[in-house]
Structure 1
Amino acid sequence: MKNAGYNNKELIVDILTESFQDNQSVNYIAKRDEKRLKRIEALMDYSFDVCNLFGDVFLSDDNKACALVLYPDKKKTTLKSIMLDAKLILLCVGIENIKKTLDREAMIKKIQPKEPMYYLWFIGVDPAYQHTGIGSEFLKEIIEHAKEKQRPIYLETSTVRNLPWYKKFGFTIYQAAELSYKLYFLKKV
């Protein structure tokens, strides 16, 4: 696993866009219209930039998997973060979905613990290489990195089929929320 920089941004955004195009949680945020795939790409672009500012961006050594990690306790409101938020609204969410998106984010923030955490915002594997063990090996490296940082890992997923995979690595569900889909909150201490 290696730290990824802006020279890897296009690859990472592509992997995540492809990996999450059918994800209920992502599709709840991205305005659903003929530009939906471009809107998901804009969300991944935004997430990359936020994690580059306030977290870590990782790429597997074979460039087939990536992860965006955020440290919420380090996130600050800056001119750059405001500009990124505005860009996200314009390119992904849409003006009419702002309230729904802000309500969802407030609900997530209320449920998440108020401790320094290793927030695994996105983890994805190039769809051509999914179910080959790459994701499992990569997640092991992520877990090891979180241990080095001495931070518990938190994440959410709306993909029920991923729950056994996370549980296999010691994650437990600590809460669930109902939106137009069920969002599961997981942690690994």
Structure 2
Amino acid sequence: MSDAVRVAGTADRARIAALLARAFSDDPAIAYLFPDAVKREKRLPRLFATLFDGDALGGMRLITPAGEAATLWRGPGQSQTGLLGLLPQAWPILRTFGFGLGRGLAVSQAIDAHLPPTPHWYLHIAGCDPAAQGKGLGGAAIRSGLARIAGSGLPTYLETANPKNLGLYQALGFAVTDTWEVPRGGPRFWSLLRA
């Protein structure tokens, strides 16, 4: 299945944004960012479309053949978002977060603060449509990305706010390196690294 995963292009943007919105609808970090479930459902496709665009340069975007799972990767030196990195996407970000922009910046800054200081690949987003979960499609999308970057000799980093994801990531060779919380009542995250 990993061999059939392909690089996603601009034509896949809406499909990937919609599937990631469904995949992350009950994620603890997303619930913190968008506490109102109605607003969350409306704004998540916009958020993931913005992230899809942002990960185009210096990264990799992958999708399974029928579009059930997708991964967004950032290449070495591209992990940090930072305020300057947000400027080109300022209007879409403001439209997405509205009055919740402070929570969005708090999560972004906390993530940036926990990134490894050495060169690495960053598995920024990995998601599988809930209707297709349990079939190995999310794992296939991740394995395909890992195979594509295997020759780099660099570790791969990710973080998750959902403890249900830890078993999958550990089965793929990731190890928990840290656990931390976003300040002022934010969600708990686990940092994972694959050598």
Is the shorter-chain TM-score for this pair beyond 0.5, marking a shared fold? yes
1:23 to 11, 27, 42: 27
2:112 to 96, 109, 113: 109
Trace 1:165-176 onto structure 2 (pairs within 5 A). 165-176=168-179
Task: Give the TM-score normalised by the residue count of structure 1.
Answer: 0.87
Gap change, CA 1:8 and 1:171, over 3 Å in 2: same
In the alignment of these two chains, the number of paired residues is: 187
- Alignment identity in percent? 25
Quote the residue 1:160 is aligned against. Answer: 163
Gap change, CA 1:22 and 1:55, over 3 Å in 2: same
Aligned partners of 2:175 and 2:192 also within 8 Å = yes
Question: Following TM superposition, by how much is the alpha carbon of 1:103 offset from its aligned partner in structure 2, in angstroms?
Answer: 2.6
CA distance in 2, matches of 1:182, 1:24: 8
Measured against aligned partners, the alpha-carbon deviations of 1:90-146 in whole angstroms (never above 9, x if no partner) come to 2x222x333332232222212111222211111112222110122222222122122
Matched letter for residue 4 of structure 1: A
Trace 1:38-49 onto structure 2 (pairs within 5 A). 38-49=42-53
Gap change, CA 1:129 and 1:108, over 3 Å in 2: same
1:186 to 174, 192, 195: 192
1:55 to 34, 53, 59: 59
Aligned partners of 1:117 and 1:152 also within 8 Å = yes
Trace 1:133-152 onto structure 2 (pairs within 5 A). 133-152=136-155
Give the match's secondary structure for 1:21.
coil
Question: Following TM superposition, by how much is the alpha carbon of 1:164 offset from its aligned partner in structure 2, in angstroms?
Answer: 1.2
Measured against aligned partners, the alpha-carbon deviations of 1:74-100 in whole angstroms (never above 9, x if no partner) come to 4799x995241331122x222x33333
CA distance in 1, matches of 2:104, 2:141: 30
Segments of 5+ residues of structure 2 without an aligned counterpart are none
CA distance in 2, matches of 1:80, 1:157: 22
Give the match's secondary structure for 2:126.
strand
CA distance in 2, matches of 1:23, 1:57: 21
Question: Following TM superposition, by how much is the alpha carbon of 1:170 offset from its aligned partner in structure 2, in angstroms?
Answer: 1.2
Aligned residues: CA RMSD: 2.4
